[in-house]
Structure 1
Amino acid sequence: MSDVTTYQNYIDGTFVESVAGELRDNRNPANDALLSRVPESDADDVQRAVEAARAAQAGWAATPAVERAGYLTAIADKLRANADHLASVIVAEQGKVRALAETEVNFTADYLDYMAGWARRIEGEIIESDRPGEHMFLFRKPLGVVAGILPWNFPFFLIARKMAPALVTGNTIVVKPSEETPNNCFEFTKLADTVGLPKGVFNVVSGGGASTGNALTAHPDVDLISFTGSVGTGSAIMHNAADHITKVNLELGGKAPAIVLDDADLDLAVQAIKDSRVINNGQVCNCAERVYVQRGVAEAFQEKIAKAMQATSYGDPGADSSVDMGPLINQAGLDKVSRMVDSAKQAGAEVLTGGRVADVGQGYHFEPTVLAACTPDMDVMKDEIFGPVLPIQVVDDLDEAIALANNSDYGLTSSVYTASLNQALKAVRELEYGETYVNRENFEAMQGFHAGTGKSGIGGADGKHGLYEYTRTHVAYIQT
């Protein structure tokens, strides 16, 4: 027990114990091994972090953007130099397979470099005035102090997704990692601490959502809350933000439809949908969460996708780096998936493969599962599963598939598989989603704009539009 790492919060450029001194255990979801103890921060810790961020913000905003960007590229270099270690930390505490954990670390470094590249590209506007001799200028300025609240499914990348645009635009930030996956954030912070960031620019406090998260999102001196996570928590954050009219940026749930038409390349569709379903053990908002397959190819598609899912290996990725899937994040997640599958079976869904909690010893494992004969009223077709379960419904044509796809509270990602350009463009026009992938897996690019509609969130991330989420406008009218 003595060799278990105990982490500390990072406030005003220093690693410090929480005010109350309380600690939370962090365990491996694949085997329940104790990995670390982390601070269970309270409102006093949050107050210290926000005060540090506020005190540092004016000086940081006055620093030329290209200098601010230099710290991001320095951190990116540190991440690449420590990629093996960081990937191991992610595998152990989140259950991500090794290859994906390595991809996450390297993509995070690339993202820091990408956002740093915007330092010389943050632009305002010159606006034509109605008055003679008047000049109108629109400036982009930082919001102030950002609260970045992280999820557990891509915990490392989301540090950069929130930190990088916040810092390059002149904001300071207080980050709260998920209580399920805090270790990777503290390891990131150790590396960030070595590049000489000014005190208070980047701060980290760990703890539960009901305690630490609530204190942070209700704080009157926070200017933007950037949150990635569940709809329920996002709604609670909006209630907190309302008291102070705090800006929010929310990426919440998804129920991504995949539409497979009669003229689709079935092998491509099967591979892409399978990859989009089992990535990160089915725990991704982008995941293909339901399939609408046209009747003419339904039997062939279902046979092929069932074989592909059945061939998916799973287990403890820390013990076997060759597995395709690891565990779900916790017992609650496993129970939810099991409950939804059982409900679908009772309602008439046919299990083509899987359908049960996996018997692989310790950990929260569920078998890769395909459900046929699903109907729109089943929970597996309406609600986010967040596990390796793929429900399928047969449709007659694209119009029916689009209508069913759009009949959802969510609107994050969608996909369509077809050889027809006309059909693809019709789907893009009519699908009410923030993203549509045509003949490829569900995974966004850093230069795009990852945003949804409905209960999938408010605002977005990545690219120019994601960068500007962290700015406000200021228009100057200058009469000469």
Structure 2
Amino acid sequence: MTTFTHYINGNWMTSNHHDTITVENPATKETIATTPSGTAEETRQAVQAARSAFGSWSQTPASERAGYLSRIADLFEQNKDHLARTLTEENGKVPALSEAEVDTAVDYFRYMAGWARKYEGEILNSDRSNENIFVMKKPIGVIGGIIPWNFPIFIFARKVAPALLTGCTAVIKPAQATPVTAGEMMKLIHSIGLPEGVLNIVYGKGSTVGNTLAKHESIGMVSMTGSKPAGTAVMEAAAQTMTKVNLELGGKAPAIVTKHADLDTAVENIYQSRTINNGQACTNAERVYVHEDVAEAFTKRITEKMKQATYGNPLQDSDADIGPLVGQEQLDSVTNMVNEAVKAGAFVETGGTPAENTDGYYFEPTVLSNVTQDMNVIQQEIFGPVLPIVTFQTMDEVIEKSNDTEYGLSSSIFSENMHEIMKAVNGLEFGETFVNRENFEAIQGFHAGRKQSGIGGADGRHGLEEHLETHVVYMQYKDDIQ
């Protein structure tokens, strides 16, 4: 069993109290690590370290800051097997997905490093003679980064890379369920000689560490990926100091399958979208709307596909399609939602219950038909390998049903008809729409939600600029120079 300590101001800091958080392998329920349950004072200490480091780090040339990012990427790549295995052990991902997540993090650090000489300000024409208006882009300050448990390596990269590249410093709070990867990544980052205080890690509860970050007067932006209730708490805390928030708060992604869809494409991609990370991905298809003309054929084929999905301990069965859910709370939530839907009239095509004869938190790959729009499996996040299906008749109807949610993160449509696709793209109220493909965003795009799926966004140039603030300078000069 591994014991981790906070990383503050370039040092591993033993907590000054005895409260700890245990981390378990969700495939076996065995304890694999412990971390301190950080205090508000420890969090403030980390923020102060980051604030003290900000002055010199923000004045370091961006190309030099990019060099650190490139070295981090190299180290992550060299230690890919270790990081991926650690991720599988604490999160339950199948090995191939863990390896892909490390690869994406490596790519992310390198991509952001490439922006060092590219992001820029502007010079505007003035209304006065002998004056120029400079629009300068400066780092926003200390970033408080709150990491979720479902993609702890990738989201670490998403929070850290643009922050450091733009000259910000950061304090990171890993998720309670998956802090081990953050500790292992920080060990690697420590070895490159990053200046003290530039990057700090404080373990603990969101109600303590996250709340302290959000309301601290020295935080320039708090960036959180997580649940809507957690995001609401962050906003309320940040309002006390008018701190900028950047929030991704989950989704309820619709997948539309029209009568002109290529069913092979739709079945394969929706299957992948529903089973990746054991169904625990906020961008991926949480509900499927199928045109009544192809509903029977689609349901039969997706059910057969889900029946063939295998589940097991990812560290022992590398060929398993699905691993465990992250913990007992998540397993109970998925079970209750499915039971509630069945009681209300949904029909179980396959699955429907927690998996038997396993040691961990497994739920059977599940397809539900005869589902109605008012059921919670359509309205609220499931976050498990459960696929509810609703039929529709017209494009107007399905767009209205798709938009009938408090969330607005991602969506998808499967059709070979351009007119259907364009009508959906222009009518869907979501930050992303994926056409005839899986729901997974590109790092050079912009990942952002609408409605209650969040504020701000990440990735690409627009995500980078979230970490910058604008400073306008009105520069007068004399014309009669001697």
1:305: which partner in 2?
Answer: 302
Counterpart contact for 1:11–1:49, Cα < 8 Å: yes
Matched residue, 2:254: 257
Question: Cα distance, 1:360 vs. partner?
Answer: 3.2
Residues 6 and 36, structure 1, Cα contact 8 Å, conserved in 2: yes
**Residue by residue, what CA displacement relative to the aligned partner does 1:69-112 show, whole Å, maximum 9, x if unpaired?**
10010010000100001001000000011000000011101100
2:217 is the alignment partner of 1:207: no
* 1:349–1:374 Cα contact (<8 Å) kept: yes
CA distance in 2, matches of 1:166, 1:28: 31
1:143 is matched with which residue: 140, 144, 147? Answer: 140
* Offset of residue 426 of structure 1: 1.2
Alignment partner, residue 108 of structure 1: 105
Amino acid at match of 2:5: Q
SS at match of 1:258: strand
Name the stretch that deviates more: 218-227 or 55-64: 218-227
Q: 2:46 — aligned with what?
A: 49
The amino acid of 2:254's aligned partner reads P
Structure 1 residue 388 displacement after superposition? 0.5
Runs of 4+ in 1 over 6 A off after TM superposition: none
Cα deviation 1:428-476 (Å, max 9, x = unaligned): 1110100000000100000000000011000000000000000100111
- Which one-letter code corresponds to 1:14 in the other structure? N
Partner of 1:29: 26
Aligned-pair CA distance for 1:19: 2.0
Structure 1 equivalent of residue 319 of structure 2: 322
* Counterpart among 61, 65, 77 of residue 64 in structure 1: 61
**2:321 paired with 1:333:** no
1:465 paired with 2:462, answer: yes
Q: Percent identity?
A: 52
Alignment-derived partner of residue 128 in structure 1: 125
Deviations 1:130-152 (A, max 9, x none): 22221011011001111000000
Identify the residue that residue 180 of structure 1 maps to in structure 2: 177
**Which structure 2 residues correspond to residues 371-386 of structure 1 after superposition, within 5 A?**
371-386=368-383
What is the alpha-carbon distance in structure 1 between the residues aligned to residue 141 and residue 15 of structure 2? 24
Question: What letter corresponds to residue 58 of structure 2 in structure 1?
Answer: A
Distance 1:213 1:71 in 2: 27
Task: State the Cα RMSD in Å.
Answer: 0.8
Q: Does 1:423 align with 2:420?
A: yes
Match of 1:284 in 2: 281
Q: Deviations over 1:386-438 (max 9, x none)?
A: 00100010000211110100111000000000001121111111101000000
Q: Shift of residue 311 of structure 1?
A: 0.8
Instruction: Give the unaligned 5+ runs of structure 1.
Output: none
1:23 is displaced (CA, Å) by 2.3
2:480 aligns with none
The letter of the residue matching 1:262 is: K
Task: Find the counterpart in structure 1 of residue 446 from structure 2.
Answer: 449
Q: Deviation per CA, 1:262-304, whole angstroms, max 9, x where unpaired? A: 0100010000001000100000001100011001101000000
What SS does the aligned partner of 1:422 have? helix
Q: Which runs of 5+ in 2 are unaligned?
A: 478-482
**Structure 2 Cα separation of the partners of residues 67 and 120 of structure 1:** 11
Task: Name the SS of the counterpart of 1:175 in structure 2.
Answer: strand
Point out the more displaced range, 277-286 or 210-219.
210-219
Partner residue, 1:408: 405
CA contact (8 A) 2:7 2:202 kept: yes
For residues 197-236 of structure 1, the aligned pairs below 5 Å read 197-236=194-233
Give the drift of 1:154. 0.1
Cα distance in 1, alignment partners of residues 128 and 419 from structure 2: 48
Counterpart-to-counterpart distance in 1, 2:338 and 2:127: 63
Paired position in structure 1 for 2:87: 90
Is structure 2 residue 291 aligned with structure 1 residue 294? yes
Paired position in structure 1 for 2:191: 194
Q: Equivalent residue for 2:384? A: 387
Note if contact 1:19-1:44 (Cα within 8 Å) is conserved in structure 2. Answer: no
The CA distance in 1 between the partners of 2:16 and 2:135, in whole Å, is 43
* 8 Å Cα contact 1:265/1:418 also seen in 2: yes
Deviations 1:206-260 (A, max 9, x none): 0111222222222221110000000000000000000000000000010000000
Please identify, of 124-133 and 222-231, the stretch whose mean Cα deviation from structure 2 is larger: 124-133
Distance in 2, matches of 1:343 and 1:41, equals 37
Indicate the SS of the match to 2:388: strand
Q: Distance in 1 between matches of 2:262 and 2:334?
A: 30
Using the alignment, how far apart are the partners of 1:63 and 1:346 within structure 2? 61
Letter in 2 for 1:188: M
The answer as to whether partners of 1:261 and 1:397 remain within 8 angstroms in 2 is no
Instruction: State the SS of the aligned residue for 2:102.
Output: helix
8 Å CA contact 1:76–1:112 kept in 2: the answer is yes
Secondary structure at 1:217's aligned position in 2?
helix
- Segment drifting more, 422-431 vs 82-91: 422-431
2-structure distance, mates of 1:6, 1:458: 35
**1:155 to 2:143 alignment:** no
Q: How far off is 1:34 after superposition?
A: 1.3
Give the whole-Å Cα distance in 2 for the aligned partners of 1:123 and 1:209: 35
Q: Which TM-score applies when normalising by structure 1?
A: 0.98
Following the alignment from structure 2 to structure 1, what is the Cα–Cα distance between the partners of residues 54 and 213?
A: 17
For residue 177 of structure 2, give the secondary structure of its aligned residue in structure 1: coil
